[in-house]
Amino acid sequence: MNDELLTLLGRVISGEVSDENDKEYFVSVNGLTFRLAKAEIQKPLKIGSHFKGYAYENEQHQLQITRDVPKVQVDHYGFGEVVRVQHGLGVFVNIGLPNKDIVVSLDDLPEMASLWPQRGDRLMLAIKIDKKGRMWGDLADEMLYRVIAQPVTGKLTNHDVVATAYRLKLAGTMVMTSDYQLGFIHPSERDEEPRLGQQLNARVISQYPDGTLKLSLRPRAYEAISDDALMLLATLQHAPEGRINYTDKSDPEDIKAYFGISKGQFKRAVGHLMKVRFAEQHDGYLWLTEAGRDHDGRTN
Residue numbers of the domain that contains 50: 3-66
In whole angstroms, give the CA distance from residue 235 to residue 281: 15
User: How many structural domains compose the chain?
Assistant: 4
Residues 232, 284: one domain? yes
In whole angstroms, give the CA distance from residue 217 to residue 185: 8
Q: State the CATH number of the domain containing residue 237.
A: 1.10.10.10
133 touches 92 (CB < 8 A): no
Q: Which of 20, 44, 66 corresponds to the end of one domain? A: 66
Residue 53 domain flag = yes
Handedness of CA 118, 124, 129, 135 (dihedral sign): positive
3-state secondary structure of 170: coil
Q: How far is CA 183 from CA 75, 161, 173, 186, 213, in A?
A: 25, 10, 8, 10, 4
Evaluate if residue 287 carries a pLDDT over 80. Answer: yes
pLDDT at 162: 97
Angle at 270 between CA 264 and CA 275, to 5 degrees: 125
Q: State the CATH number of the domain containing residue 35.
A: 2.40.50.330
Residue 300 domain flag = no
* Continuous segment of H or E residues that includes residue 128: strand 122-129
In whole angstroms, give the CA distance from residue 300 to residue 133: 55
Residues 211, 260: one domain? no
pLDDT at 253: 93
**Burial call 263-294: b when 16+ CB within 10 Å, e when fewer:** bebbbbbbebbbebebbebeeebbbbbeebee
In whole angstroms, give the CA distance from residue 92 to residue 135: 12
Residues paired with 66 in a beta bridge = 54
Work out the average pLDDT over 151-155. Answer: 86
Residue 124 domain flag = yes
Residues 232, 290: one domain? yes
pLDDT tens, position by position, 210-229: 899 999 998 766 566 678 88
Give the 3-state secondary structure of 185-234: ECHHHCCCCCCCCCEEEEEEEEECCCCCEEEECCCCHHHHCCHHHHHHHH
Q: State the CATH number of the domain containing residue 124.
A: 2.40.50.140
Q: Which of 162, 188, 216 corresponds to the end of one domain? A: 216
Residue 204 CB contacts under 8 Å (≥ 6 apart), including other chains: 156, 157, 158, 159, 160, 161, 183, 213, 214, 215
Q: Please, which pLDDT band fits residue 3 given cuts at 50, 70 and 90?
A: confident
**Burial call 99-116: b when 16+ CB within 10 Å, e when fewer:** ebbbbbebebbeeeeebb
Helices (H), the chain: 3-6, 142-148, 221-224, 227-238, 252-259, 263-275, 290-294
Q: Please, which pLDDT band fits residue 299 given cuts at 50, 70 and 90?
A: very low
Evaluate if residue 23 carries a pLDDT over 90. Answer: yes
Residue 71 domain flag = no
Residues 285, 231: one domain? yes
pLDDT at 272: 84
Residues 128, 104: one domain? yes
165 touches 198 (CB < 8 A): yes
Residues 50, 88: one domain? no
pLDDT at 1: 58
Work out the average pLDDT over 12-41. Answer: 96
**Mean pLDDT value across the chain:** 92
Q: Which of 103, 123, 140 corresponds to the end of one domain? A: 140
pLDDT at 191: 85
180: nearest Cα among 197, 163, 200, 165? 163
Give the distance, in angstroms, between the CA of residue 274 and the centroid of all CA atoms in the same chain.
33
**pTM for the whole thing?**
0.73
In whole angstroms, give the CA distance from residue 295 to residue 300: 7
| Least confident window among 43-52, 87-96, 128-137, 227-236 | 227-236
Residue 72 domain flag = no
Residues 257, 288: one domain? yes
3-state secondary structure of 151: coil
40 touches 69 (CB < 8 A): no
pLDDT at 300: 39
Residues 181, 209: one domain? yes
